[in-house]
């Protein structure tokens, strides 16, 4: 699986440089456009994220390494802004160990970006559902290691 094109520090830095929320939305949409194509055969019920108004798919791959299980993610959505949110979460989580994922405070990072205040309640709930799914996958990887 491929990691998201930008690391989270780069995204946070870009958000700090963009003052206008319309521009920030455009940037989030661009992040989504930069995601690698999501395989059609991965658009399954198992990969569908529950709790999102838009359709969101998240595929998780686990590799067991000396320092514990590492998780890589691919994701997609049928909505442009949500696809961008998927890209941000993949930048935050993909390629990390399960322990690192569980220790990551997504709320703090998303707070740095100021996303919560500028998303509809439905999108905010969907974002929480995606974070929850990633955390559950990390917990399962640790249990199965």
pLDDT tens-place string over residues 60-105: 999 999 999 999 999 999 999 999 999 999 999 999 999 999 999 9
User: Cα–Cα distances in Å, from 142 out to 16, 49, 81, 130?
Assistant: 35, 20, 31, 19
Q: What 3-state DSSP class applies to 72? A: strand
Looking at per-residue pLDDT, the higher value among 110 and 89 belongs to 89
Show the domains of the chain with their CATH numbers.
8-144 (3.90.1010.10)
The mean-pLDDT minimum among 4-13, 83-92, 116-125, 136-145 falls in 4-13
Mean pLDDT of the chain: 92
pLDDT at position 4: 42
pLDDT tens-place string over residues 14-24: 999 998 999 99
Per residue, the 3-state secondary structure of 19-70, as one string, reads: CCHHHHHHHHHHHHHCCCCCCHHHCCCCCECCCCCCCEEEEEEEEEECCEEE
Looking at per-residue pLDDT, the higher value among 135 and 119 belongs to 135
Query: Which residues are catalytically annotated?
Result: 52
Give the pLDDT mean for 100-121.
89
How far apart (Å, rounded) are the C-alpha atoms in residues 55 and 59?
Answer: 13
- On whether the CB atoms of residues 51 and 128 are closer than 8 A, the answer is yes
Interior angle at CA 60, CA 58 and CA 63, nearest 5: 165
pLDDT at 3 over 80: no
Provide the pLDDT confidence category of residue 2 given band limits of 50, 70 and 90. Answer: very low
pLDDT at position 1: 46
pLDDT at position 114: 85
């Amino acid at each position: 699986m491929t990691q998201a094109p930008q690391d989270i520090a780069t995204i946070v830095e870009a958000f700090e440089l963009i003052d206008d929320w319309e521009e920030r939305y455009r940037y989030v949409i661009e992040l989504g456009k930069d995601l690698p194509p999501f395989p059609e055969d991965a658009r399954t019920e198992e990969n569908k994220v529950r709790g999102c108004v838009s359709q969101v798919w998240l595929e998780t791959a686990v590799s067991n390494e000396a320092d514990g299980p590492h998780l890589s993610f691919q994701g997609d959505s049928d909505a442009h802004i949500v696809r961008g949110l998927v890209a941000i979460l993949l930048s935050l989580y993909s390629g990390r160990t399960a322990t690192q994922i569980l220790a990551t405070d997504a709320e703090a990072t998303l707070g740095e970006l100021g996303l919560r205040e500028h998303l509809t309640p439905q999108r905010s709930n969907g974002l929480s559902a995606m974070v929850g799914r990633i955390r559950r996958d990390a917990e399962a990887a640790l249990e199965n290691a």
